[in-house]
Amino acid sequence: MTLALPATGAEVRLAARPRGWPTPETFSVVRTELPAVRPGQVLVRNLLMSVDPYMRGRMNNVRSYVPPFAVGKALDGGAVGEVVVSKSPALAAGDLVLHGLGWREYAVMGAAGAVRVDPAAAPPGAYLGVLGMPGHAAYAGLLKAARLREGDVVFVSGAAGAVGSLAGQIARLCGASKVVGSAGSAAKAAYLTGELGFDAAFNYRDGPVREQLAAAAPEGIDVYFDNVGGDHLDAALLQARMNARFALCGAVSQYNEQDGATGPQQLMQAIAKGITLRGFLVSEFGGLRDEFLTRVGRWLAEGRITYRETVVNGLENAPAAFIDMLRGANTGKMLVRISD
């Protein structure tokens, strides 16, 4: 019996460019006809999709390292799905693949744009988190952008999120003498020290970040892995030792500022202390992917790295999941389950 293929699928589109925080009206969920699968292409039924902070920047009509989302068109991002139809010898129906056409039920793409993943090696969500872009960012940011050295004191902001939670664990496994993290609640701070092995953690809502960081790392810091920007970056500049190295991965505290992001107030510290501030993109370190997967995959299998996921069910709830992620509602990786 021939399996009936879907003629339409739901997708989430950018309805309007947000000014400040996105709202439900920023998005629209529509059904659309699926394109024909041509030679060399596959049809994928998406199971899980990722929502990530960088997507907020793509909602603005500004020039950047990646084109902005187009108003009236479907958004995109990381997803894991099952190949339903294949017209390529590279993939077969039933294969589980990682690709970049999330925010929709079904995706048609060239087979070269989908990477087969092994569900026996790790759960599908892991390929969007610990073994995906967030894990790759944490690994490359620490070892390449920040040039982590054995004995370094490391500070990670946004440390209970998808990237930060891994950055702290990788720092510990690579010989950091002390790892400090910030998070947005007492429960998250306890998670960092109780489950992830951070030496110290604080809730940034409890008081000035500068004071809490100084109390957690009175000896100063050698490496700062920045996911937040703003007052966290200023605190790290003040607490940095001579020749500290900063890996600038994100600045989520600034993404929804209506009047533009505010620059750091303590930048003179970088001159006085010889601090290196290194912004980076994961794509710069594509050549590190195999090493990252081998090393982090081994740590994961050995139980030396752990992770959490916050999973929201239903494609129609993806906009709410994205907004909640920007507000810090998640612990670990925020995912949307589209289909079982």
Which tens digits make up the pLDDT trace of 226-278?
A: 999 999 999 999 999 999 999 999 999 998 987 766 779 999 999 999 999 99
Mean pLDDT of 281-291: 96
Residues 75-90: tens digit of each pLDDT: 999 999 999 999 999 9
Question: Which of these, 297, 296, 254, lies nearest to 54 by C-alpha position?
Answer: 254
Q: Looking at the structure, tell me whether residues 186 and 277 fall in a common domain.
A: yes
Residue where a domain terminates, one of 283, 300, 319:
283
pLDDT for 3:
55
- The pLDDT-based confidence of 2 (bands split at 50, 70, 90) is very low
Range(s) of the domain holding residue 152: 133-283
Can you give the CATH number for the domain in which 167 is found?
3.40.50.720
pLDDT for 260:
66
Could you give the percent of the chain with pLDDT greater than 90?
94
Q: Looking at the structure, tell me whether residues 124 and 220 fall in a common domain.
A: no
Can you give the CATH number for the domain in which 28 is found?
3.90.180.10
Q: Looking at the structure, tell me whether residues 253 and 324 fall in a common domain.
A: no
Strand pairing class (96-99; 115-116): antiparallel
Mean pLDDT of 56-84: 95
pLDDT for 25:
98
Within a domain: 296? no
Total of domains in the chain? 2
Within a domain: 57? yes
Could you give the percent of the chain with pLDDT greater than 70?
98
Q: Looking at the structure, tell me whether residues 144 and 121 fall in a common domain.
A: no
Q: Looking at the structure, tell me whether residues 275 and 318 fall in a common domain.
A: no
Q: Looking at the structure, tell me whether residues 58 and 87 fall in a common domain.
A: yes
Within a domain: 85? yes
Beta carbons of 47 and 81 less than 8 angstroms apart: yes
Please list, residue by residue across 157-196, b when 16 or more beta carbons sit within 10 angstroms of its beta carbon and e when fewer do: bbbbbbbbbbbbbbbbebebebbbbbbbeeebbebbbeeb
Q: Looking at the structure, tell me whether residues 144 and 274 fall in a common domain.
A: yes
Residues 123-159: tens digit of each pLDDT: 999 999 999 999 999 999 999 999 999 999 999 999 9
Q: Looking at the structure, tell me whether residues 207 and 239 fall in a common domain.
A: yes
Within a domain: 321? yes
Within a domain: 294? no
Q: How many alpha carbons fall within 13 Å on the CB side of residue 331?
A: 14
Q: Looking at the structure, tell me whether residues 42 and 112 fall in a common domain.
A: yes
Within a domain: 298? no
Question: Which of these, 242, 250, 235, 245, lies nearest to 276 by C-alpha position?
Answer: 245
Q: Looking at the structure, tell me whether residues 32 and 165 fall in a common domain.
A: no
The reported pTM is 0.94
Q: Looking at the structure, tell me whether residues 162 and 215 fall in a common domain.
A: yes
Q: Looking at the structure, tell me whether residues 272 and 173 fall in a common domain.
A: yes
Task: Kindly list the distances between the CA atom of residue 247 and the CA atoms of 167, 174, 281, in Å, as whole numbers in the listed order.
Answer: 11, 16, 10
pLDDT for 259:
72
Mean pLDDT of 219-224: 98
Within a domain: 302? no
Task: Kindly list the distances between the CA atom of residue 126 and the CA atoms of 133, 154, 258, 282, in Å, as whole numbers in the listed order.
Answer: 10, 25, 34, 17
Q: Is the pLDDT of residue 52 over 60?
A: yes
- The pLDDT-based confidence of 1 (bands split at 50, 70, 90) is very low
Q: Helix, strand, coil: what percent of the chain each, to 5?
A: 35, 25, 40
Within a domain: 48? yes
Mean pLDDT of 186-200: 98
